[in-house]
Structure 1
Amino acid sequence: MSDADTVAAVRDAIAAATPDIRAGLPGRREQAGSENPSGERRLAADEYADELLEERLGAIDGVGAYASEEREGVVDVGSGYSVAVDPLDGSSNLKPNNVMGTIVGVYDATLPASGRDLVAAGYVLYGPITTMAFAHEGSVTEYLVEDGEATPLREDVTLPDDPTVYGFGGRVPDWPDDVAAYVDEVESELKLRYGGAMIGDVNQVLTYGGVFAYPKLESAPEGKLRLQFECNPVGYVIECAGGRSSDGTGSVLDVDPTDLHQRTPVYLGTPSLIDRLEATLD
């Protein structure tokens, strides 16, 4: 199988898994009784989606390793690309029935890897309809996913020139002064959109333009979101769509990977807004 065929197989396997993931949500809203490697309480739905995706992605010819934020280490499944997954991004939204997603990054390197080692990345959004944004070879395609089949809706997706929305995670009293100053500056220009799932908020930015962030916090200078499973893949999508990603100093794709479950502050969106943000941060 060629490299392009492997990437397409990963994309198709994620799409094919969506009906099973969605169908498994109603009966798996309870906590699983354990924590993930980042110390967060897992739901039964997290475990179910993780096991399903490991089985589906691990069976692909050309995928050599599977890792997820729900597992301590990397699973050897053969030879080829390393696939890093957030099986159910925003699973805390399951209880109030809000938006969630699945994130995947395809790395041509051993994990943990640099964002520059990504050859493809994407995310599924479980909203009123199921969509997928998938980036490969510098281009982003948005798909409608129905019955496990992905049909292109928009090709060569780019962020709009006129940004509209912003959303910042973390408790406001926990924001450093420079982050708070930036939000004070942009809130008169943009509409607040924040739903508690990275994918839902980032998809607003991809659709309308703007800025999403889960910044450094006074209590957590390293931020909350994971580099391998969330920040690199989603940063890759945004950059392929003509946007910018940042850890506060430069592209999140350039952050040195030191640990599989490493966290980083992350800022994503319209280039001019990210430029202004980096200029504001101390």
Structure 2
Amino acid sequence: MASTNGNGPAEGEKVNTNIVTLTRFLTEEQVKHKEATGDFTLLCHALQFSFKSIAYYIRRATLVNLTGLAGSSNTTGDEQKKLDVISNELFIEAMRSSGKCALLVSEEEEDIIYFKDSTNARYAVACDPIDGSSNLDAGVSVGTIFGIHKLAEGSKGTKEDILKPGTELVAAGFTMYGASAQLVITMKGGSVNGFTLDNGLGEFILTHPNMRLPRSRAIYSVNEGNSLYWDDKVKRYFNSLKEAPDGGKPYSARYIGSMVADAYRTLLYGGIFAYPADKKSPKGKLRILYECAPMAMVFENAGGQAVNSKMERMLEVVPQHIHDKSGLFMGSYDEVEKVKAFHK
């Protein structure tokens, strides 16, 4: 065992002093763009504060009586947890106080929230404050999903500034609150980077630079409890994954039931995540603006693919209203190609 003389770290022990925090990362990215005003960076600082706050309350939820239902339902009919309400309010206040967000769409709010006092704000944000909150009381990983759009030139913030396809996203990502808080963020045309919250420093630290999806992987993630309602093409595709042709192995099934957690695992290990539209939900269950489009941007920028149940590129789908829904298949490039083949 290494010993010390009391003057510093143990012999042979290396301390990394070149730590890339999210704050440093954003600042360095800003310098690369001569036209940058700093507004986007300030908006991201407000976002990371909300992520840190949500992570804090989730860790303490059982201790301070924040588990259980809040006694109301959100816009999509899901029963709200106490933490859903708190996280939504945290998000709203973070966006309001940043002064850089003109309007906010949240899963927990029926209508768009306009920040009229933010007269010089140039951005519109869509978010799901806590995705998978039905798993909260069981201690299962949940997360926040977000997408950022830039307002049209001369606009003060209108519905049209957010009802745009994912190809118009400036940035997107998600935070997963599990054994540790993991933040994944990507910008238009950029790489995908993963950060881990260091609770001691109170900072997100770059731990997964330039994340890339494996080209293929024999893992699938889907709620097979809905298979009764799937159409025949979807059934044939998933049945094919369970077969082992030529003495090979069938695919492994991995389903957590929290989209952010399933997506993060798929991003790290490869495979495919699916939530297809079905006879029970003909349009699908996932919301385009703050679930499908941001995730699709992350997966495409990491070398994967994302399509809807019509096999259309998810990023090109235009939402008809702020809570519009879609089916979704996303994951490794070759795995999504296999899904497309069954739908031809």
Mapped to 2, the partners of 1:54 and 1:182 lie a distance apart of 41
Deviation at residue 265 of structure 1 after TM alignment: 0.4
Alpha carbons 2:50, 2:90 under 8 Å: kept: no
* Cα gap change, 1:162 to 1:97, in 2 (>3 Å): same
1:184 to 235, 239, 262: 239
Q: Partner letter of residue 120 of structure 1?
A: A
Alpha carbons 1:15, 1:150 under 8 Å: kept: no
- SS of the aligned residue for 1:218 comes to coil
**In the alignment, structure 1 residue 64 sits paired with structure 2 residue 102:** yes
2:91 to 45, 48, 53: 53
- Residues 248-268 of structure 1: CA distance to partner in whole angstroms, max 9, x if unpaired? 322111112211000000111
Equivalenced residue count is: 282
Deviation at residue 221 of structure 1 after TM alignment: 1.1
Mapped to 2, the partners of 1:117 and 1:108 lie a distance apart of 8
Q: Which one is further off, 4-13 or 207-216?
A: 4-13
2:49 to 13, 38, 46: 13
Deviation at residue 11 of structure 1 after TM alignment: 4.6
Mapped to 1, the partners of 2:313 and 2:206 lie a distance apart of 28
Superposition pairs for residues 1-282 of structure 1, below 5 Å?
1-6=37-42, 8-23=44-59, 25-26=61-62, 27-77=65-115, 78=118, 79-109=121-151, 110-137=161-188, 138-147=190-199, 148-169=202-223, 171-188=226-243, 189-248=250-309, 249-281=311-343
Alpha carbons 2:216, 2:334 under 8 Å: kept: no
- Residues 23-48 of structure 1: CA distance to partner in whole angstroms, max 9, x if unpaired? 45322222222211111111111111
More strand by share: 1
Deviation at residue 211 of structure 1 after TM alignment: 0.4
Q: Which one is further off, 188-197 or 21-30?
A: 21-30
* Cα gap change, 1:11 to 1:154, in 2 (>3 Å): farther
Structure 1 vs Structure 2 CA RMSD: 1.8
- SS of the aligned residue for 1:171 comes to helix
Mapped to 1, the partners of 2:72 and 2:164 lie a distance apart of 27
Unpaired runs of 5+ residues, structure 1, are none
Mapped to 2, the partners of 1:2 and 1:180 lie a distance apart of 49
Mapped to 2, the partners of 1:28 and 1:178 lie a distance apart of 43
- SS of the aligned residue for 1:59 comes to helix
Mapped to 2, the partners of 1:269 and 1:10 lie a distance apart of 29
Deviation at residue 281 of structure 1 after TM alignment: 2.4
- Residues 112-147 of structure 1: CA distance to partner in whole angstroms, max 9, x if unpaired? 222112111111111111111111142110101123
- SS of the aligned residue for 2:263 comes to helix
User: Stretches of 4+ moved more than 3 A in 1?
Assistant: 18-21
Mapped to 2, the partners of 1:183 and 1:44 lie a distance apart of 36
* Cα gap change, 1:262 to 1:193, in 2 (>3 Å): same
State the percentage of identical aligned residues.
Answer: 29
Match of 2:28 in 1: none
